[in-house]
Structure 1
Amino acid sequence: MAKAQTPEEKNYKVIAENRRARREYAIEDDLEVGIQLMGSEVKSLRQGGAQITECYAEVDDGELWLVNSYIAPYEQAKTWKHEERRRRKLLASRREIARMWNATQRQGMTIVPLVMYFNHRGLVKMKVGIAKGKKLADKRATDAKRDWNRQKQRLLKQQG
Protein backbone atom coordinates (compact mmCIF):
# COMPACT_ATOMS: atom_id res chain seq x y z
CA MET A 1 0.00 0.00 0.00
CA ALA A 2 1.39 3.43 -0.93
CA LYS A 3 2.43 5.72 1.88
CA ALA A 4 0.85 9.18 1.88
CA GLN A 5 3.48 11.79 1.08
CA THR A 6 3.86 14.91 3.16
CA PRO A 7 4.51 18.23 1.37
CA GLU A 8 8.27 18.10 2.05
CA GLU A 9 8.44 14.58 0.56
CA LYS A 10 6.65 15.44 -2.69
CA ASN A 11 9.73 14.62 -4.82
CA TYR A 12 10.41 11.26 -3.09
CA LYS A 13 10.22 8.48 -5.68
CA VAL A 14 11.54 4.91 -5.58
CA ILE A 15 13.53 4.13 -8.74
CA ALA A 16 14.56 0.51 -8.14
CA GLU A 17 14.22 -1.91 -5.25
CA ASN A 18 16.06 -5.13 -4.44
CA ARG A 19 13.34 -7.26 -2.89
CA ARG A 20 15.39 -10.45 -2.99
CA ALA A 21 17.98 -8.93 -0.65
CA ARG A 22 15.75 -9.30 2.42
CA ARG A 23 15.19 -12.98 1.59
CA GLU A 24 18.79 -13.86 0.69
CA TYR A 25 20.54 -11.86 3.43
CA ALA A 26 20.11 -11.03 7.10
CA ILE A 27 20.48 -7.24 7.09
CA GLU A 28 22.47 -6.13 10.15
CA ASP A 29 22.63 -2.39 9.45
CA ASP A 30 21.64 -0.02 6.66
CA LEU A 31 23.01 3.29 5.48
CA GLU A 32 21.92 6.01 3.06
CA VAL A 33 24.64 6.93 0.55
CA GLY A 34 24.84 9.23 -2.44
CA ILE A 35 25.79 8.04 -5.90
CA GLN A 36 27.97 9.79 -8.46
CA LEU A 37 26.18 9.83 -11.83
CA MET A 38 26.41 11.40 -15.28
CA GLY A 39 23.63 13.64 -16.61
CA SER A 40 22.29 11.04 -19.04
CA GLU A 41 22.10 8.50 -16.18
CA VAL A 42 19.98 10.83 -14.05
CA LYS A 43 17.63 11.51 -16.96
CA SER A 44 17.31 7.79 -17.60
CA LEU A 45 16.53 7.22 -13.89
CA ARG A 46 13.79 9.85 -14.06
CA GLN A 47 12.20 7.67 -16.75
CA GLY A 48 12.53 4.65 -14.45
CA GLY A 49 15.18 2.62 -16.26
CA ALA A 50 17.27 0.95 -13.53
CA GLN A 51 17.90 -2.46 -12.02
CA ILE A 52 19.83 -3.21 -8.81
CA THR A 53 18.92 -6.85 -8.14
CA GLU A 54 22.20 -8.29 -9.48
CA CYS A 55 24.60 -5.66 -8.15
CA TYR A 56 26.70 -5.34 -5.03
CA ALA A 57 28.93 -2.75 -3.38
CA GLU A 58 32.59 -3.10 -2.48
CA VAL A 59 35.27 -1.03 -0.74
CA ASP A 60 38.33 -0.53 -2.96
CA ASP A 61 41.26 1.77 -2.03
CA GLY A 62 39.22 3.59 0.59
CA GLU A 63 36.33 4.27 -1.78
CA LEU A 64 32.91 2.65 -1.99
CA TRP A 65 31.89 1.36 -5.45
CA LEU A 66 28.63 0.01 -6.86
CA VAL A 67 29.38 -2.89 -9.21
CA ASN A 68 27.15 -4.38 -11.95
CA SER A 69 24.17 -2.05 -11.56
CA TYR A 70 22.15 -1.39 -14.71
CA ILE A 71 20.94 2.04 -15.83
CA ALA A 72 19.20 2.01 -19.20
CA PRO A 73 20.66 4.17 -21.97
CA TYR A 74 19.08 7.58 -22.47
CA GLU A 75 18.12 7.84 -26.13
CA GLN A 76 18.22 11.66 -26.37
CA ALA A 77 21.86 11.79 -25.20
CA LYS A 78 23.67 11.56 -28.49
CA THR A 79 27.21 12.76 -27.73
CA TRP A 80 27.79 11.82 -24.08
CA LYS A 81 26.12 8.47 -23.60
CA HIS A 82 26.94 6.37 -20.55
CA GLU A 83 27.88 2.72 -20.18
CA GLU A 84 24.96 0.73 -18.80
CA ARG A 85 26.91 -1.48 -16.37
CA ARG A 86 29.87 0.65 -15.33
CA ARG A 87 31.22 0.89 -11.78
CA ARG A 88 29.67 3.86 -10.01
CA LYS A 89 31.14 5.59 -7.00
CA LEU A 90 29.02 5.68 -3.86
CA LEU A 91 29.40 8.70 -1.60
CA ALA A 92 29.74 8.11 2.14
CA SER A 93 31.86 9.47 4.95
CA ARG A 94 35.30 8.01 5.62
CA ARG A 95 34.15 6.66 8.96
CA GLU A 96 31.26 4.78 7.35
CA ILE A 97 33.49 3.43 4.57
CA ALA A 98 36.02 2.23 7.17
CA ARG A 99 33.21 0.53 9.11
CA MET A 100 32.00 -1.21 5.94
CA TRP A 101 35.52 -2.32 5.03
CA ASN A 102 35.91 -3.74 8.53
CA ALA A 103 32.61 -5.62 8.25
CA THR A 104 33.40 -7.10 4.84
CA GLN A 105 37.06 -7.99 5.35
CA ARG A 106 37.11 -9.12 8.97
CA GLN A 107 33.59 -10.31 9.67
CA GLY A 108 32.69 -11.82 6.28
CA MET A 109 29.71 -9.57 5.63
CA THR A 110 28.45 -8.26 2.27
CA ILE A 111 27.33 -4.78 1.23
CA VAL A 112 23.97 -5.16 -0.52
CA PRO A 113 22.04 -2.36 -2.28
CA LEU A 114 18.46 -2.32 -0.98
CA VAL A 115 16.71 0.58 -2.72
CA MET A 116 17.57 3.43 -5.10
CA TYR A 117 15.38 6.54 -4.91
CA PHE A 118 15.07 10.28 -5.41
CA ASN A 119 15.00 11.98 -2.00
CA HIS A 120 12.82 14.97 -1.10
CA ARG A 121 15.36 17.35 -2.70
CA GLY A 122 15.34 15.39 -5.97
CA LEU A 123 18.82 13.86 -5.50
CA VAL A 124 19.51 10.21 -6.28
CA LYS A 125 20.26 8.27 -3.10
CA MET A 126 20.76 4.60 -2.37
CA LYS A 127 20.16 2.63 0.78
CA VAL A 128 22.77 -0.09 1.25
CA GLY A 129 22.74 -2.77 3.90
CA ILE A 130 25.58 -4.54 5.65
CA ALA A 131 24.39 -8.13 5.54
CA LYS A 132 25.29 -11.73 6.18
CA GLY A 133 24.09 -14.46 3.82
CA LYS A 134 21.28 -16.73 5.02
CA LYS A 135 21.41 -20.49 4.85
CA LEU A 136 18.45 -22.49 3.53
CA ALA A 137 17.22 -23.30 7.04
CA ASP A 138 17.28 -19.60 7.97
CA LYS A 139 15.20 -18.75 4.89
CA ARG A 140 12.66 -21.41 5.82
CA ALA A 141 12.46 -20.14 9.38
CA THR A 142 11.89 -16.58 8.13
CA ASP A 143 9.13 -17.79 5.79
CA ALA A 144 7.47 -19.78 8.58
CA LYS A 145 7.58 -16.79 10.93
CA ARG A 146 6.09 -14.49 8.27
CA ASP A 147 3.31 -17.01 7.51
CA TRP A 148 2.51 -17.37 11.21
CA ASN A 149 2.28 -13.60 11.62
CA ARG A 150 -0.11 -13.40 8.65
CA GLN A 151 -2.25 -16.19 10.08
CA LYS A 152 -2.28 -14.50 13.48
CA GLN A 153 -3.44 -11.22 11.92
CA ARG A 154 -6.25 -13.04 10.07
CA LEU A 155 -7.42 -14.68 13.30
CA LEU A 156 -7.37 -11.40 15.19
CA LYS A 157 -9.29 -9.69 12.37
CA GLN A 158 -11.97 -12.43 12.41
CA GLN A 159 -12.43 -12.17 16.21
CA GLY A 160 -12.49 -8.38 16.34
Structure 2
Amino acid sequence: MLRSLLIERMGLKTHVEKREMPVYALTVAKGGPKFSESTTQGPEVTRQEKGVVIVERASLSELAAELSGKVFDRPVIDGTGLKGRYDVRLDMAAIMTASQVDRSDPATVMMTALQDQMGLKVVPRRDQVDVLVIDHAEKTPAGN
Protein backbone atom coordinates (compact mmCIF):
# COMPACT_ATOMS: atom_id res chain seq x y z
CA MET A 1 0.00 0.00 0.00
CA LEU A 2 2.76 2.48 0.92
CA ARG A 3 4.70 1.58 -2.19
CA SER A 4 1.69 2.14 -4.47
CA LEU A 5 1.04 5.49 -2.75
CA LEU A 6 4.65 6.58 -3.33
CA ILE A 7 4.44 5.50 -6.98
CA GLU A 8 1.16 7.36 -7.49
CA ARG A 9 1.86 10.56 -5.53
CA MET A 10 5.63 10.95 -5.85
CA GLY A 11 6.21 9.33 -9.25
CA LEU A 12 8.56 6.86 -7.57
CA LYS A 13 10.51 4.66 -9.97
CA THR A 14 12.72 1.86 -8.64
CA HIS A 15 14.49 -1.29 -9.68
CA VAL A 16 16.21 -4.13 -7.85
CA GLU A 17 19.80 -5.04 -8.59
CA LYS A 18 22.40 -7.31 -7.07
CA ARG A 19 25.34 -5.70 -5.31
CA GLU A 20 28.25 -7.26 -3.49
CA MET A 21 28.31 -6.14 0.12
CA PRO A 22 29.23 -7.33 3.62
CA VAL A 23 26.79 -9.91 4.96
CA TYR A 24 26.60 -12.49 7.70
CA ALA A 25 26.08 -16.06 6.54
CA LEU A 26 24.38 -18.69 8.69
CA THR A 27 26.52 -21.83 8.34
CA VAL A 28 26.45 -25.21 10.06
CA ALA A 29 28.93 -25.26 12.96
CA LYS A 30 31.19 -28.19 13.84
CA GLY A 31 29.07 -30.90 15.38
CA GLY A 32 26.19 -30.24 13.01
CA PRO A 33 22.74 -28.77 13.52
CA LYS A 34 21.02 -29.11 16.91
CA PHE A 35 17.44 -28.86 15.67
CA SER A 36 15.00 -31.02 13.76
CA GLU A 37 12.39 -30.51 11.08
CA SER A 38 8.96 -29.23 12.02
CA THR A 39 6.22 -31.84 12.20
CA THR A 40 3.31 -29.37 11.94
CA GLN A 41 1.77 -27.60 8.95
CA GLY A 42 1.05 -23.91 8.51
CA PRO A 43 2.82 -20.60 7.96
CA GLU A 44 6.04 -19.51 9.66
CA VAL A 45 5.48 -17.94 13.08
CA THR A 46 7.98 -16.01 15.24
CA ARG A 47 7.25 -14.88 18.79
CA GLN A 48 8.98 -14.16 22.11
CA GLU A 49 8.00 -15.49 25.50
CA LYS A 50 9.90 -14.66 28.71
CA GLY A 51 13.37 -14.42 27.19
CA VAL A 52 12.81 -17.23 24.68
CA VAL A 53 12.58 -16.63 20.93
CA ILE A 54 10.32 -19.24 19.33
CA VAL A 55 10.31 -19.77 15.58
CA GLU A 56 7.92 -22.36 14.17
CA ARG A 57 7.84 -23.90 10.70
CA ALA A 58 10.54 -21.59 9.32
CA SER A 59 13.11 -22.27 6.65
CA LEU A 60 16.61 -21.14 7.50
CA SER A 61 16.28 -18.49 4.78
CA GLU A 62 13.27 -17.10 6.65
CA LEU A 63 15.20 -17.19 9.92
CA ALA A 64 18.08 -15.33 8.26
CA ALA A 65 15.67 -12.69 6.93
CA GLU A 66 14.16 -12.32 10.41
CA LEU A 67 17.62 -11.64 11.86
CA SER A 68 18.56 -9.14 9.14
CA GLY A 69 18.31 -5.57 10.35
CA LYS A 70 16.79 -6.54 13.69
CA VAL A 71 19.77 -8.01 15.50
CA PHE A 72 22.66 -7.66 13.08
CA ASP A 73 24.01 -4.55 11.36
CA ARG A 74 24.06 -6.17 7.90
CA PRO A 75 21.99 -8.63 5.88
CA VAL A 76 21.98 -12.25 7.05
CA ILE A 77 21.85 -14.98 4.40
CA ASP A 78 21.32 -18.73 4.62
CA GLY A 79 24.59 -20.48 3.82
CA THR A 80 23.69 -23.81 5.45
CA GLY A 81 22.45 -25.64 2.38
CA LEU A 82 19.75 -27.18 4.62
CA LYS A 83 16.27 -27.39 3.12
CA GLY A 84 13.06 -27.85 5.02
CA ARG A 85 11.11 -26.13 7.77
CA TYR A 86 12.21 -26.15 11.38
CA ASP A 87 10.95 -25.38 14.88
CA VAL A 88 13.52 -23.45 16.90
CA ARG A 89 13.71 -22.25 20.51
CA LEU A 90 16.47 -19.81 21.42
CA ASP A 91 16.70 -19.33 25.18
CA MET A 92 18.18 -15.84 25.31
CA ALA A 93 17.85 -15.68 29.10
CA ALA A 94 20.20 -18.66 29.48
CA ILE A 95 22.76 -17.01 27.21
CA MET A 96 22.47 -13.70 29.09
CA THR A 97 23.40 -15.39 32.37
CA ALA A 98 26.60 -16.87 30.91
CA SER A 99 29.49 -14.82 32.29
CA GLN A 100 31.62 -14.92 29.12
CA VAL A 101 28.99 -13.25 26.90
CA ASP A 102 29.00 -9.49 26.30
CA ARG A 103 25.39 -8.77 27.30
CA SER A 104 25.56 -5.20 26.01
CA ASP A 105 25.77 -6.37 22.37
CA PRO A 106 22.60 -8.10 21.09
CA ALA A 107 24.47 -9.44 18.04
CA THR A 108 27.02 -11.23 20.25
CA VAL A 109 24.24 -12.69 22.38
CA MET A 110 22.39 -13.93 19.27
CA MET A 111 25.58 -15.38 17.72
CA THR A 112 26.21 -17.31 20.93
CA ALA A 113 22.60 -18.57 21.09
CA LEU A 114 22.67 -19.68 17.45
CA GLN A 115 25.92 -21.59 17.91
CA ASP A 116 25.25 -23.11 21.34
CA GLN A 117 21.57 -23.94 20.92
CA MET A 118 21.17 -24.50 17.17
CA GLY A 119 24.60 -25.55 15.96
CA LEU A 120 24.74 -22.62 13.53
CA LYS A 121 27.67 -20.28 13.12
CA VAL A 122 27.38 -16.67 11.94
CA VAL A 123 30.24 -15.92 9.54
CA PRO A 124 31.04 -12.47 8.11
CA ARG A 125 31.71 -12.44 4.37
CA ARG A 126 30.91 -10.59 1.15
CA ASP A 127 28.08 -11.79 -1.08
CA GLN A 128 25.60 -10.64 -3.71
CA VAL A 129 22.47 -9.09 -2.17
CA ASP A 130 19.31 -7.69 -3.77
CA VAL A 131 19.23 -3.91 -3.28
CA LEU A 132 16.29 -1.61 -4.01
CA VAL A 133 17.56 1.35 -6.07
CA ILE A 134 15.51 4.55 -6.38
CA ASP A 135 15.69 5.82 -9.95
CA HIS A 136 13.38 8.81 -9.62
CA ALA A 137 11.02 10.57 -7.23
CA GLU A 138 9.29 13.93 -7.65
CA LYS A 139 10.17 16.64 -5.12
CA THR A 140 6.53 17.60 -4.67
CA PRO A 141 3.67 15.11 -4.43
CA ALA A 142 0.97 15.04 -7.11
CA GLY A 143 -2.48 16.28 -6.06
CA ASN A 144 -5.26 14.02 -4.85
TM bucket normalised to smaller:
under 0.3
Considering fraction of residues, name the structure with more helix: 1
- Report 1 or 2 for greater relative contact order, CA contacts < 8 Å, sequence distance ≥ 6: 2
TM-score, normalisation: structure 2? 0.24
TM-score, normalisation: structure 1? 0.22
Considering fraction of residues, name the structure with more strand: 2
